[in-house]
Amino acid sequence: MARKILITGGAGFIGSHVVRLFVKKYSNDHIYNLDTLTYAGNLENLKDIENENNYTFIKEDINHTDNISELFNKYKFDTVIHLAAESHVDRSIADPISFVRTNVMGTMNLLNAALETWREDFSDKMFYHISTDEVYGTLGETGLFTETTSYDPNSPYSASKASSDHFVRAYGETYGLPFIISNCSNNYGPNQFPEKLIPLFINNILNKKSLPVYGDGNYTRDWLYVIDHALAIDLILNDGKVKETYNIGGFNEWKNIDLIKLLIKQIDEKLNHTPGESEKLITYVKDRPGHDLRYAIDASKINSELGWKPTVTFEEGLSKTIDWYLNNKEWMNRVTSGAYQEYYEEQYK
Which residues sit at the interface with ligand NAD, rule CB under 6 A?
8-9, 11-15, 35-38, 40-41, 61-63, 83-87, 102, 106, 130, 132, 161, 184, 186-187, 193
Q: Which amino acid is located at 345 in the chain?
A: E
Q: Is there binding between residue 295 and ligand DAU (CB under 6 A)? A: yes
- Residue 30-59 contact track with ligand DAU, rule CB under 6 A, x = bound: ------------------------------
Q: Is there binding between residue 132 and ligand DAU (CB under 6 A)? A: yes
Whichever of 177 and 213 has its CB closer to ligand DAU, that residue is 213
Q: Half-sphere exposure of residue 66, counting CA atoms within 13 Å on the CB side?
A: 0
Question: CA-to-CA distance for 6 and 128, rounded, in angstroms?
Answer: 10
Catalytic residue among 55, 157, 225, 325: 157
DSSP secondary structure letters along 14-54: HHHHHHHHHHHH-TTSEEEEEE---TT--GGGGGGGTT-TT
Active site residue 157: yes
Sheet of 253-255, strand order: 186-188, 220-225, 253-255
Among 218, 321, 311, 227, smallest CA distance to 267 is for 321
Contact with ligand DAU (CB under 6 A) among 106, 212, 249, 310: 212
Size of interface with ligand DAU, in residues (CB under 6 A): 19
Distances (CA, A) of 229 to 5, 69, 131, 234: 18, 29, 12, 9
Q: Are residues 208 and 283 in contact, defined by beta-carbon separation less than 8 angstroms? A: no
Which residue number has the CB closest to ligand NAD? 12
Binding part of the chain for ligand DAU, among 63-71, 174-182, 192-200, 241-249 by CB under 6 A, reads 192-200
Whichever of 138 and 187 has its CB closer to ligand NAD, that residue is 187
Binding part of the chain for ligand DAU, among 92-100, 137-145, 212-220, 309-317 by CB under 6 A, reads 212-220
Whichever of 178 and 194 has its CB closer to ligand NAD, that residue is 194
Active site residue 195: no
Minimum Å distance from CB 66 to ligand NAD? 14
Q: Are residues 215 and 291 in contact, defined by beta-carbon separation less than 8 angstroms? A: yes
Whichever of 14 and 322 has its CB closer to ligand NAD, that residue is 14
Q: Which does 83 bind (CB under 5 to 8 A by kind): ligand DAU, ligand NAD, none?
A: ligand NAD
Catalytic residue among 86, 133, 222, 253: 133
Active site residue 316: no
Three-point CA angle 238, 241, 243, nearest 5°: 125
Minimum Å distance from CB 208 to ligand NAD? 26
Instruction: Give the β-pairing of 253-255 and 30-35.
Output: unpaired
Minimum Å distance from CB 15 to ligand NAD? 5
Contact with ligand DAU (CB under 6 A) among 89, 205, 235, 332: 89
Q: Is there binding between residue 185 and ligand DAU (CB under 6 A)? A: yes
Q: Are residues 121 and 115 in contact, defined by beta-carbon separation less than 8 angstroms? A: no
Q: Is there binding between residue 91 and ligand DAU (CB under 6 A)? A: no
Among 313, 132, 344, 108, smallest CA distance to 227 is for 313
Return the beta strands (E) in the chain as ranges: 4-8, 30-35, 55-59, 79-82, 126-132, 179-184, 186-188, 211-214, 220-225, 245-248, 253-255, 282-285
Whichever of 30 and 88 has its CB closer to ligand DAU, that residue is 88
Q: Which does 214 bind (CB under 5 to 8 A by kind): ligand DAU, ligand NAD, none?
A: ligand DAU
- Give the residue numbers marked as catalytic: 133-134, 157
